[in-house]
Structure 1
Amino acid sequence: MLSFLLTRLLSTFIVVLGVITLVFLLIHLVPGDPVQAMLGETATPTDLESLRNALGLDQPLLTQWWVYITNLLQGDLGNSLYSKEPILDILLERFPATLELAIAGLLVAVLLALPLGSIAALRKDTIYDNSAMVFSLLGVSIPNFWLGPMLILLFSLMLGWLPVSGREGPLSLILPAITLGTALAAILGRMIRSTLLEVLNEDYIRTARAKGLSESAIVIYHALRNASLPIITVLGLQLGTLLGGAVITEIIFAWPGIGQLTIESIERRDYPLVQACILLISLSYVFINTLTDLLYAWLDPRVRYSV
């Protein structure tokens, strides 16, 4: 297990370094001059050159990269060009909202997918199975930017049950979580169905049935436990995707998270903040995937022994 852990941590370090470098290069290759955006079109060449020198943008790209890495290791992400506040403080203020929305979306997906996938597998080729697969197809096909407004029209404007937007309390989380979790529920439901169909044909399941165990006990204590590994993998991957893919949902519901912050900083040409937002989303994805790998190896010893 120690060898597996060290191997995964080393590969994670390499990926993180690559992500940091790629984000740095992409931001610096974006057309437009941040100095010009800060000072406006009426700025004189002298003012532009003075500010560019103060920000270190006149140095070679490799030197800027090294300074960026050094500051990053010290927890210094710089200051926002728009608000002048430390970027780290802005991210710490906004990230909990995105994390809350991602976890809520994941919870919605599990609560929908687990019964649907299980019933579809146990009632294969029946109306229950076909209905679950239709739901999966709809969940994957319907985009967030259509589902979100439709939920707002129905539950907020017509029925008046839930808030339209914002992050004012538990009720304001329901519609964004449903919007974000529906597509994942469709993917997860199909995964649960396919893995359960494979497991239900194993010899130990037939033995459990021969012992007189109820079907629910067989599914909960035997089938789902052995089908959990690929499901956990999908959950881990999709949680990272939810953290990065919540941008549209946050914009629709005015949810004050990293996704909305990214769009706002792009509109303001606040390049250091854009860079920090993208980096945070990328590193969150890498971190969650690493945890998923470690959890997978802990649950299945064959994985760590194969390294």
Structure 2
Amino acid sequence: MTRFLVATALLLAGTSLAGAQSLEKQIRDFVYAPGFGAADIDALEVSLIDQWYDLTVMTPGGTVGPIEKAMLIADKAIEGIRTRTAIDYGEVITEDGTPVSFIELRHFNLAAAIHAETEAAYGPENTAPLEDFGTGEHMAWRFVFQPVMNNAAVLLEASSRVISVKEAAKSDCTGRPCLDLYAGFDAAEWEEVGGQVPDWPRLYSDHSDEVATPAHAIAELAVFGYWANAESGQYQWTGGEHPEGARGAEPYRFIGIDRHLGQEASIDAIWRETKLNDDELAAITFRRAEIAGSVHLMRAGEPHPGRP
């Protein structure tokens, strides 16, 4: 709780007492929701430090955004690489303009589903043990981040819980059943976008098993949709414009990631932004689909109800 007290002091520096108390309550209610247990913040910080490539700078990982950091923590917590991830992002702006990020991340290990399908197709005698497909439980995480000085996202509080198989079977992941191997992102009318996202020096492991890591896929989508900037040759999270229609910590940004769910090495990720400050569009979704190292960028707009 020491970190929480420090975070509260930082918030009080630019927020009225009543406003800070309200924000403190929102953070507590969010992080310590029923079923969630407090995470060891120091251990999570160490897990992040272990992943930064350049430890010589004053703030290692300082330009990395909160969603990537949440993904790095959750991904390292399980060994499986056949995963489906659903991320909900909300943001509270303090009176001095500081964005406080509220992130719920659900990380599903689909190794058991793929193992069962392989066993049904080829027989138990021709199927490797389940452990070879990837171990780890389904997990839900809640994180609160805020920028401090030269660090785009400092972890304030975190919690986690195990998602039971029964709950996972009934759960929705960005509009799809979480454990359905065949539920992809193809329902939208995608417009393919030419070109590619610019490169930048690696801040953490950006590729694994022939394709991008989930965190790097998120970073490229952030640059693609202008929530991060890499035009200078360096990566910098900016967060983008806060929606006028967003209230409190209510989520308005939704990210879905499928990794290695088919026969080829692949990662398919979408970033859906809702409550846009836009007269024409109610939401817009960006997609990064990669199969065996070949990357395709797409987008799909959603007009306001009743408009063509």
Identify the TM-score tier after normalising by the shorter chain: under 0.3
TM-score in terms of structure 2 length: 0.22
The structure with more radius of gyration: 1
TM-score in terms of structure 1 length: 0.22
Higher relative contact order (CA 8 A, sep 6+): 1
> If each structure's strand is expressed as a fraction of its own residues, which one has the higher value?
2
